[in-house]
Amino acid sequence: MSWDCAVQGTSNPYLYRVNWEQAIQDYLHYLRLERGLSDNSVQNYRRDVGKLAVFMRDHAPDRSPKNTRREDIEAFVHALAAKLKARSQARILSGLRGFFAYLIFEGYRQDNPMELVESPKIGRKLPDTLSVADIDRVIGAIDRSLAEGERNRTILETLYGCGLRVSELLDLRLSDLFFEEGFIRVTGKGNKQRFVPIGSFNQGCISLYLREIRPHWSPKKGCEDLVFLSRRGGRLSRALVFAVVKDLAEKAGIGKRISPHTFRHSFATHLLQNGADIRAIQQMLGHESITTTEVYMHVDRTHLSEVVQRYHPRKTL
């Protein structure tokens, strides 16, 4: 049952409308306007905090966001542990910390019931990557005799060539291309913009697509400035890009599941392996924290060992 249904089904709807529902709506409004989060991120927070609202309705109906206690949260965590993996639990608890911190900021309450609640310990998941040869095989599996094939090739080259997220690629606009300067402008999480270098090979792929393919797909209203279009001139969906990558991976005989994000991971890993500075990679990926980028330092320990063997003055007896 969704938290909305729980609110409507309570014997005292006024209590929940004023407290849980209104508090959550105010929080989502804050995330959109003050934090600048995307609709997708906001809806994720809505679902996560909503799970607590449903739990409280069923187990502590006299509690509101103003008087929820640490013991209530711990009972909620115990319930989550029976249904969700540690990583999902940790994500929900992170969202709740933000929610209660917001309530304190707005003066709804003085303390944070999440303060002493520990998140489950999760192992650090290393990102899947592809070798350069594997990337060539995937892109080589594209049927470039088809118009959408040339578009798909350009999409994969741009994901790998610039390390973009899928959402960033789909939002890329003609007005974001600064080829003479060698950069593209990318709008990332929280609508934060950054400039990412783009190589001449990737520029050539995009230029060919823009010259030979895109003019035949009349853009729909609102899509005139988008770089990547569907055959009907509309905005491409995330699902389509994921499906394209999955299909090409199967055709190329890649023995593991990959996604569009795999090309972003490969971009970062290959740059690091070839000597790029990790802070430069951080800026290109749009990571707020260097800690997020440092995961790529753990991806290929064999390469790091080879670096020591090759460059350290005392590598041999």
Active-site residues, by number, are 165, 189, 261, 264, 287, 296
Evaluate the CA torsion angle 176, 177, 183, 188 in order and state its sign.
Answer: positive
Task: Give 288's DSSP letter.
Answer: S
Dmax (CA) of the chain: 79
Q: Quote the CA–CA distance of 261 and 290 in Å, as a whole number.
A: 19
Q: Which residues make Cβ contacts (< 8 Å) with residue 53, sequence separation at least 6?
A: 3, 6, 7, 16, 20, 21, 24
| Residue ranges in the chain assigned as alpha helix (H) | 3-9, 13-16, 22-33, 39-59, 70-81, 86-105, 132-140, 147-162, 166-171, 200-212, 238-252, 260-273, 278-285, 290-293, 301-311
225, amino acid identity? D
Q: Give the SS3 label for residue 42.
A: helix
Tokens representing 139? 């892109």
Residue pair 284/182 in contact by the 8 Å Cβ criterion: no
- Other beta carbons within 10 angstroms of residue 127's beta carbon come to 15
Place of tokens 């823009």: 210
218, amino acid identity? S
Tokens representing 222? 């609102």
